[in-house]
Structure 1
Amino acid sequence: MTFRVRYTKGARDDLRRLYGFLLEKDIGAARRARHAIVKAVDFLKNFPFSCRKADPDNPFLRELVISFGSTGYVALFEIEDQSTVTILAIRHQREDDYH
């Protein structure tokens, strides 16, 4: 079964913010980070249940850890139904927590 991946407005804003932050410092790093995030999110199309639970009481709210350099990103997502995964937020691993 393949899942459709969609993004909330907040998650799209997160992507723009993260890309913009890196773009100011290093355009190559910004492109590599964007590629790493896209590649990792593609993984959710086939294996969303393999990611860690974000809330022990909600098996459908999960986190995808995205490696990038010595740190990386974390995508909070929800498995909406048997065919849809929704990305709720994306943060750099050194940022404050999100909920």
Structure 2
Amino acid sequence: MTEHETVDLYVIARLDDDGNVAIADLFTTELFFTTDGALDGRGVGSWWESVSTAQGEAVTLEALDGALATCGYVRIGEWRERVTNSGNTRFFADAVTRLEALNS
């Protein structure tokens, strides 16, 4: 049996109509839970990687979900739209990926 490690990720996505791509920046996170198991918050860690849709593909969150899935990521929960302090629209979500444990 193969063991896997689950990595929790925080996704910040932007839909770049000028560049004709949707881009997701993934960051590692540490999730904090209450004693009854409810999500209590997260600590956002370091940048993991960026994933984008192919040039000329639809610039949509659905297309970005497909690109994320192709790279082995699973979005959990819905996309949350926010306008940043700089006035840009970004979409936020949680995701996970599974890494195969390395055996020495």
Normalising by structure 2, we get a TM-score of 0.26
- Structure ranking higher in strand proportion: 2
Normalising by structure 1, we get a TM-score of 0.27
- Structure ranking higher in helix proportion: 1
If you compute each CA radius of gyration, which structure gives the higher value, 1 or 2? 2
